[in-house]
Structures are given as C-alpha cells and as structure tokens.
Structure 1
Amino acid sequence: MSLIFYVLASLVVLIKCESLPKPNIVFIVADDLGWSDVSFHGSDQIMTPNIDMLAYQGIIIPQYYTDTRGTPARSALFTGKYPLRMGTQGISIASAEDRGLPTTEVLLPQYLQELGYATHLIGKWGLGKSREHYLPTNRGFDTFYGFSGSSVDYYTYNHVETWNETVFYGLDFFNNLEPVEDQRGHLTEVLTDRAVKLIRNHDTSVPLYLHMSHAAPHVGGGFVNLQTPEDLIAANDHIAHSPRRLYAGLVTGLDRSIGHVISALAERELLNNTIVVLISDNGAASTGLNRNFGSNLPLRAQKARLGKVREGNYKIIIGKVEPQQSNYYGMELKKSRIPGFLYENVLLSSDTARVFRETLFINIDLEMAATKRNYSDLYRHINNTDAERLCIPTNAKGCLFDLSVDPAESKDLWDTHPQFVQHMVLRLRAYWAAINPRQEPTLDPRANPALHDFIWLPWLDNLENVSKPLLAIPNFPLQVSVGELQYLVDFNLNAFKESLTSYVKSSADSFIQNIAKLFSF
C-alpha cells in the first residue's frame, strides 16, 4: 500500500512547482475485491469493462502489495508508513473501541490541503470514530459523506457489532459530522450519486482530490451479508453458485460506479488533467464469518496471512498456520450454468470506453488489450499444481517462493536457498523487533448507539484520558536455526574485516604521505 503513497508523495513534490498545473486526483478504493474477480485479470465470469479500460489505457501495477485488513491497509495508504510503526497492525478498529490512527500522523489529504486542493472523502473511513479528532474532517478532508466504521448494511446504513453476548447496533452514515437519517437506496448507488454531484459542482479553478472508498464488495455490516440489487443479480445470472452470483452483482455495481465517475469527469472537461487510481484495500474474504465468496485465485489463502517479507521477486512466509488456510480457495465458484458474454463487446460498450472514444479520442486497441489481459491472467499457474503438496509454514521452517515464475506459490525454495533464507529471516526479525504495540481491543459500553438515539457517535472528548492496555508483542513465529546464527556471525565478521581493512589501508596511505613529505625537497 505504501507504494501508492510514495507515488502520490512524488506527485506532491512536482505539484509544488509553480509552473506545472495541479492535476486533479480521483482515488477509488474497493473493499475486499478478489484478485481474479476483474476481467482484465482473465475472469470470464465477472465482467468489469470500466475497470479494464482504465487498466488497458493506464498502468497496471502487478506487484502492488497491501496489508491483509482494512485499518492497517488504510493507515499505510494515508501515511506511507508500515502499520506496525503506528500500532495500527492486526484486526481492524471496531466501532465500540477507543482506538484510531494516531493524531500525530500527518495524512495525505492534509498535505494536499496545504497545496490548495479541495479534499473530499466519500464512503468508508475505518480509522477511528471514538473521538472527533479521529474523524476525516479533522484529518485533512474538507468534506465527508459516508460511514466511519468498517462496514454498514447496504440499505439501512446501520452497523451491528457483537462483543461476546453484547450486541450494539445503530446508524453509521454521516454528512461531515451530522448523521444522515433520510437517505434511501443501495449504498453503492448512493455513494456514486454523491461523487457525480460533487464533480459536477466542483469549482474547476481549484484542484480536486476525491477519495472514493467503496463498501463493495465487502459483506454488509448488519446481519445480512450479501445485499445486491435485483438488476445486478440478473446481470450475473450465468453464474451457477448462488452466493457467488450475489457477490458478482456487487462487483458489477462497483464497475458501473467507476464508469459513472469517469463520465462525470469527462462532462466537466476534467479528465485530461486528472489522475485516476483504482486499488482494493485487500483481497477477497474467501472463508470465515465475513466470507463474500470472492476469489483470489491463483493466489493462495485469503485476505489474512501471517508474517511475510519480499526482496526482488522473492517472497518468504513464516508462522504456523492450519493447512486449510494455505490452500487455493474459489475453484468451486468458477462454474457457469449458461454461456457468458463476448468480452470484446462488453468492453467496447462500457461508459469508460465511450468516454475515451468521444472525449479523449482514444479507440481501444483490442490486440493490445488482449496482450495485457493474457499477461495479467495468472490462473494458468495452478493448472499443474498438486494442492496436497503445498508448503505449509511451521515453527521449524517457513516457505520461500520466486513469484516471477511461481505466483501460485507452489514450489518451495526454502531448503535450496539457505543463505538467502537466512538473510530474509534476519530482515523479518528486524521488522518484528520494531513493532509498536497496539491496544488490546476493548469494548467501551459508552459507545452503545442506544445511548445516542441509535446512532454511532463519538462518545469521548479528545483530551479524555482512558487507560488502554497494550497487547504483548507476539513471539517471533520461527525458531532460531544453527544456520541463521552462523550466517549472523559470518555477516558481522565480514563487516568487521571490511571495516578493519579499510581503516588499516587509510592509516597506511596517510603514513606514506607524511613520510613522503619528510623527504621532499
């Protein structure tokens, strides 16, 4: 996630140059979108023509990595820092706990405000709501229209949260700091209408930063998980698996929303000077209580995974996990009961394709699109993979993969690259030692919306001091090996030798120069 921040941070530096026009920035975030659930990644089941058009005419970042949960991913996006530096790692902030992104952190919208941008957040916040100073209008956004917690019901905009036997529920939908109690409609459509209206009313003499953070295709925040409009269910009627069909409808709604936003930018003649970024906060929730029936194939497991670090094309994974948590989820969801669509027709008939043709005078090159699509389709990598022989990390050993040739993580290189493993594990130990402990998730009864007319409102003053127990830093999930200790000794000895050699050479050169001066006439 921090990669995108540094791209934008570099952009901020360029923006400071007075001779350059400040570009508009439209940053769109999907929630729990599966890797293989966009058609430019090769999906023939769920069509995303508007997203695909942006990919084909823009830049695809195939090695873009994010955190596994919402709060850490979003805190990294807005700050450019690893969550473990700020205590925002781990599970997302619950609505009834007093926790938020530390107010000492300066966020991306605050930097853009200083540069004269109009900054707007539509949709999900997810970075704290117990105190007003955690809320987006106090963190760099001029306006906020959306929900402050992790998820809401797509039709009532209520959030339900359960702590053991305690159930809290209430409205979580706001216009800045004011609750919105008269809004009706499906959440994706409501957020889209707001974004289109904002673009149409924007003062074009001021650069725009619109951060549109969708709920889709995350499950709803009430007791009903997958809430999809009937027309979007019908649009995916070819999908045999019923819950998968509902999920696909949410993705279709997300894709159409993006098309409407692009159309609105074109209508205001803003598109030529607008940077559009589309990401997902993390992958699909393939299993568990919040399963949305998305698919991350050919990537293994689901959105939550233990310690990992990358260097170049290599990825190392450590931590003891159950075998079923390291499998390929979603294969059973890929079946269709009737033929799908002709991809080229769907692509060319999208709103974004029309805008590109009529406004930017860009006609999609179908051969180029096919090439990019084939390159981005990683599904072929699991065709010959034996799921029974996949590497499962334990306390004794982890797993090492070369993602440049094995994105499906099917061929473990741990035993064949011992020195590289030792180097990577030491790096991961260094990260682990720098963890900033986070608060233990604790229910605060004062958060109960029943005390506030069944609305999720801040319940603490900004300066109120509340005792917050910290979670102990977990033990490093890999035991120390003899090889690792030997590597560390050799590494330090080599560093000492190089330092000593450099010192002796420098001293000798200085001595020779001084002696030479004594004999110079």
Structure 2
Amino acid sequence: MNFALFVVFCLWTVTRARPPNILLIVADDLGFGDLGFRGAEIKTPTIDELATKGVILEQHYVQPVCTPTRSSLMTGRYPIHNGMQHYVILLNEPHGVPLDETFLPQRLKQCGYETHAIGKWHLGFYKREYTPCYRGFDTFFGYYQGSEDYFTHYSGMNITGWGLDLRRDRRLPNSTVESNLIWNADHVYSAQLFTNEFERVLSAYDGTRPFFMYLALQSVHAPQEVPQHYVDPYKHISDLNRRRYAGMVAALDETVLNVTATLKKSGVWNDTLVVFTSDNGGPIAGCSDSIGARNCPLRGGKHSLWEGGIRSNAFVYGAGLDVVGYRNWGLMHVTDWFPTLLHVASEGRDDGGAELELDGVNQWEMISQNGSSNRREILHNIDPLLTEKILCGVHHGNHSALRVGDYKLLVGDPGPPDSGCQGNSSWHPTSVSHYLFNIKEDPNEEIELSTKEPEMLTAMLSRMQYYASTAVPPGNKPRDVHANPQYHNGTWVPWDD
C-alpha cells in the first residue's frame, strides 16, 4: 500500500466514531394529549426534557392498534404487504408475522450490534420460530401476549384460560434458544421488572459492540393497574379512570427516568440515540379497553383511523443529532424507522436493501438536520374484515385511510370519532362511504371536503385502489383450543411445535 494512503487510512480508522447505541422505547396505548409537553395535567418531566431538548416529530404516524404497528416497526413494511392489517394477534390465535420477513434486529446484527428486547412482543408465538430470539434478538425478557396483569403477569380470559406469560429467552452460542418462565415475580409491577432487566443487561455490557435495545413497555395499556403512590398526586382529578391513568403515565415517565439514569451510570449515555414513540393513540370512552386517555385536540382514538388513533407522540434524543431543540413537521411513518436506524447503524452504507421491498424510507436527514421528509404519502391501512364487535361501534365493512400531501382520505367507517375533547365543530361522521380532509389546515378533522373538492377525492380514491391491488389477504387464523394454558402447566407457551 502507498505510504501516504496507509497513513490516511489509519487516521480515518482512529478518528472514525463507531455508530451509536440505539434505545427504542415504545409506550403502549398512550394518549396523544397525555404528556406534559402537550399541555396535560399529568407530570412527565423526564419525557418532556428529552423531547424538548431533542427532536419532536409532529407528524409521526403509526397503525391504529398494537400488532400492526409493531409489525411495521420491525419489518419496515405496510401491514397490507404481509397480512398483518387486520386487528391484533389474539390470545390463542395461531398467527404471526410471516417468517420470510426480515426483522430490524436481524439487519442490525449484520452491522455488528448486539440486540436485546424487553417488554411486550405481540408478534406471534404459536411456534417458537415466531418468538423474539428467533427473529434477531440475542435476549428477550417480557411477555408474548398483547396484555396481561401488571402484578401477577398472568394473561387470558374465561374462553381461553389464564396463564403465566413472563419469561427470559436467550440465544446460546450454538444458535439454540433457551427459554425460562419467571415464576417468582408475583406482586412486582412490570415497570420495575423491566427497569431491573435493563439494568441487568447494561451491567453485563462490555462495550465491544454497539447495542440495540428494544424497550416495549406495558405502560399504559389496560388493565388500569399502578401502585397507589403514583395515583396520590392526582387526587384533584375527579374521574377515577382518569386519575388512575394519570398514575400509570407518571409511572411510565419514572421508567424512562430510571432507564436514562442507568445509561448515564454505565457511561454510555452520550453514545446512545434514544427513540420514543407510542404504538397507537389512547383508547377512548365507549371502547372496552378505555383507560381514561385523552388524544386532545385530535379526533378519535385507538382502533380508529382518525388522527387520534394513528398520530403518535414521538421524539428522538441523543447521539448523532446535528440540530436539536425543535419540532419537525415532516411526514413520517413507523415503517421509516427500519431504513432510518439501519442507515445510522451502518453509517450510511445501508438504507434497508432493495431486496426487502420496504415501504419505509430513510428519514435521518430530516430528523438529524431539520430537513424535509422523504415521503409525501402514507397508507394508514386497508382492512376489509373489521366488525362492530372489534371496533367499539364501527360497522361491518371496509376500514381504510390514505394520506397524500396535506390531504387525507377515509373509506368506510373510520372508527369511533369522539375523544372527549372536541371543539364546537358542527360536523359529525355520517353513513357515507368516504371522507376527505386537509390535515394541514384542519388537523382535528372538522371540515369534510369530499363534495367541495371532487377532483382531489377522485385522485385519492384512485391511489387507494392502487394500494388495494398490492395487498395480500389478512393472515388471521381461527382460535386454537390447544393454546389453553391448562394444557401447558398454567402457562402461555408455543403450542404448535
């Protein structure tokens, strides 16, 4: 090698910073208006500080319920393209994200990362191949189902049976996966368990490789359970559901405080990029899983395709950001995290790979430099199977929404519209098959435009039809009685191996 080139190469090697650690925090069912920096009466000082000193993503969109959002996050693909577009994976449903999908941690491992998951999975577990350590994670501590008791860590209902769902999985050097159920955590609140596990993982971290930590918190999903000392500061809130919910959000904020303190104590805080998002809006009054959340000032909530169901609180803080302390209004979808974080992890060499046919786009320049968005449209979803029972009053039929530029089209019944904080709008949903809004001018969806802008309506309907032509059928399956924990020592485990 030429000596001069050799010197340049060595200097580049010495001065070149390795990619940052990545902490991806996902809150569950968090209301859009329920954080301090949104004006809520609930105190969230840690989250507020990270958000306001980082980058708040004001037009960050997710899916209307848990499983489709988490699938989009892990695969970078719209749910219509892998059969995950219909509702969530049920307790005893033999269903999961297809095994031919590449997950984000699998690609991050190729970039030299060690990968850990803590908390909620909800992406399938009826066969062991669908569980976290077979999908790219080195370790997993948490629960496979979509919800459970915060203290006993049992999940279920009378028609499916009740069983323990808390375990620690780890991939061994020979590529087998060891899974151990946790029986001794009764009466320990899940937020404390997950904080303890985060500390345990960081205490064993040797710093030789960057880490990707997926912290999928149970907070603040139903049931309404939280230690009383979190609720006591909110005695002034008369509504009991809202009061308990406030305590759950406060516990969420303390979890983020404890996690960040652990990163600082471990000496890796300045080398870590923190991403925070909710998986969907908060469930609103009238839904079976209502927990006192508010999505103010947005219309609707969880389960719906109104803004209150799909526009999430999201922000980024930490390593790699060139410009901070601002709110970015660029359009972003949860699928974008796959190519964006892969770009960060690979130092710009990999934006996801064309072979994966991602629906997400790399948004790192937008996030890190207050740039423009690399997308102008989002398919919010196309679900042909929704029923009244599932959606808290939604009628049978299609359930679809599309954003193009400033405009949003809703087809079919978009879900329950009221979130308990609407203004004096005289417009309310009718029985027509579609609605059109200009979200930039009307973010609360109060001015319906389909009769006023017929050409835009026609163009949006045509674009929706294009997406429908690319969809695969929903992959949901009938319930399987063999999943019942009574056949598995009172536990939820892969039952179809």
TM-score by length of 1: 0.70
For the 8 Å contact 2:427–2:447, the answer to whether it is kept is no
Answer with 1 or 2: which has the greater Rg: 1
Paired residue for 2:34, among 14, 37, 40? 37
Report whether the alignment pairs 1:181 with 2:183. yes
Residue 391 of structure 1 deviates from its aligned partner by 4.0
For the 8 Å contact 1:69–1:90, the answer to whether it is kept is no
Residue 440 of structure 1 deviates from its aligned partner by 4.0
Task: Give the letter aligned to residue 308 of structure 1.
Answer: A
129-138 or 414-423: which moved more?
414-423
Other-structure match for 1:310: 403
* Local SS of the residue matching 2:60: coil
Distance 2:207 2:466 in 1: 47
- How many positions carry a matched residue from both structures? 380
Paired residue for 1:226, among 198, 212, 224? 224
Residue 433 of structure 1 deviates from its aligned partner by 2.3
1:32-79 per-position Cα deviation (integer Å, ceiling 9, x unaligned): 000000111121x11111111111111111111110111110000011
Paired residue for 2:475, among 439, 449, 456? 439
For the 8 Å contact 1:294–1:330, the answer to whether it is kept is no
Task: Give the letter aligned to residue 172 of structure 1.
Answer: D
Distance 1:264 1:296 in 2: 31
Unpaired stretches in structure 1, ≥5 consecutive residues: 1-15, 220-224, 332-381, 462-521
* Local SS of the residue matching 1:269: coil
Task: Give the letter aligned to residue 417 of structure 2.
Answer: S
Give the superposed CA RMSD.
Answer: 1.8
Residue 452 of structure 1 deviates from its aligned partner by 0.8
Other-structure match for 2:272: 274
Task: Give the letter aligned to residue 180 of structure 1.
Answer: I
Other-structure match for 1:171: 164
Please state which structure has a larger fraction of its residues in strand: 2
Report whether the alignment pairs 1:127 with 2:123. yes
Residue 431 of structure 1 deviates from its aligned partner by 1.3
Paired residue for 1:389, among 419, 424, 427? 427
Residue 312 of structure 1 deviates from its aligned partner by 1.5
Other-structure match for 2:96: 100
Distance 1:392 1:51 in 2: 38
Please state which structure has a larger fraction of its residues in helix: 1
Residue 458 of structure 1 deviates from its aligned partner by 0.6
Matches within 5 A, 1:395-414: 395=433, 398-414=434-450
Distance 1:321 1:276 in 2: 32
Distance 1:90 1:300 in 2: 22
Distance 1:127 1:83 in 2: 12
Other-structure match for 1:296: 295
Residue 280 of structure 1 deviates from its aligned partner by 0.3
Paired residue for 1:248, among 229, 246, 249? 246
Paired residue for 2:66, among 54, 63, 70? 70
Other-structure match for 1:114: 110
For the 8 Å contact 2:67–2:84, the answer to whether it is kept is yes
TM-score by length of 2: 0.74
* Local SS of the residue matching 1:152: coil
Distance 2:477 2:430 in 1: 29
Other-structure match for 2:7: none
Task: Give the letter aligned to residue 268 of structure 2.
Answer: L
1:279-335 per-position Cα deviation (integer Å, ceiling 9, x unaligned): 00001111311111111111111212231111112211121367xx222x234xxxx
* Local SS of the residue matching 1:91: coil
Other-structure match for 1:214: 217
Distance 1:400 1:445 in 2: 43
For the 8 Å contact 1:200–1:264, the answer to whether it is kept is no
Distance 2:160 2:447 in 1: 45
Task: Give the letter aligned to residue 299 of structure 1.
Answer: L
Deviation beyond 6 Å, 4+ runs, structure 1: none
